[in-house]
Amino acid sequence: MIKLAIIIGSTRQKRKGEVIARWVREIAASHSEVEAELVDLKDFKLPHLGEEVSTEMEPHNQANLQAWSEKIASFDAYIFVTPEYNHGPSGVLKNAIDHLYSEWNNKAAGFVGYGYIGGARAVEHLRLVMGEIQVADVKGQVAISLSSDFEDYTLFQPRSFQGEAVNTMLDQLIAWGGALKTLRATPVAN
């Protein structure tokens, strides 16, 4: 069994990512090898990396960071549901990734991008980041178009091939997530 986090990569009020992430989780539920959980960045309220914070906020920030660390460490694989803002992922998603390192190592990741061209540039940016934090990103990805997969840019109605793309990505994540889980279980000699 692979524990999979579907990470909602935006905290904006009118974000599209939550409805997309719920759709991905519904598809993942049909895979018996996957236990999928939505992880919403809104629930963690992480400080900006390197931000000066007052001493009265420090215990609160540390508790949020500890909760984030424990949550991310508990998974074998991730699907990042990312918007594309100015040719990249959201700042809040990049900030959340940057707060951790070892919790991500030797795990697998897939991507569901969304935007006017399917979030392709945001996904390409995240692929570079994944390499640095030792996450194996799978080839299969999903590119949701705000104009073609939403009616009037509001009602999510993905085209039929999008579900097939999610299943392809999930198959790859199951294979890579399982292989890397075995790797993490084997102690590395110094």
Residue 190 lies in a domain: no
- Token pair 């579900």: residue: 163
Residue 55 lies in a domain: yes
Domain CATH code at residue 133 = 3.40.50.360
User: What is residue 118's predicted lDDT score, i.e. its pLDDT?
Assistant: 96
User: What is residue 189's predicted lDDT score, i.e. its pLDDT?
Assistant: 57
Residue 85 lies in a domain: yes
User: What is residue 49's predicted lDDT score, i.e. its pLDDT?
Assistant: 80
CA distance 137 to 96: 18
Question: Can you read off the two tokens belonging to residue 38?
Answer: 């939505």
Residue 10 lies in a domain: yes
Strand runs (DSSP E) across 74-118, as ranges?
Answer: 77-83, 107-115
User: What is residue 82's predicted lDDT score, i.e. its pLDDT?
Assistant: 98
Which structural domain range is residue 129 located in? 2-185
> What are the φ/ψ torsions at residue 49 (nearest 5 degrees)?
-55, 125
Q: Is 47 exposed, middle or buried (0-12, 13-18, 19+ CB in 10 A)?
A: middle
Residue 56 lies in a domain: yes
CA distance 29 to 18: 16
- In this prediction, the residues of the chain whose per-residue pLDDT falls under 70 are 51-60, 187-190
Residue 119 lies in a domain: yes
- Residue pair 20/112 in contact by the 8 Å Cβ criterion: yes
CA distance 26 to 10: 20
Residue 83 lies in a domain: yes
Residue 49 lies in a domain: yes
How many Cα atoms within 13 Å fall on the side-chain side of residue 36?
A: 24
Domain count, the chain: 1
- CA distance readout (Å), 121 to 20, 49, 95: 18, 23, 18
- Residue pair 149/123 in contact by the 8 Å Cβ criterion: no
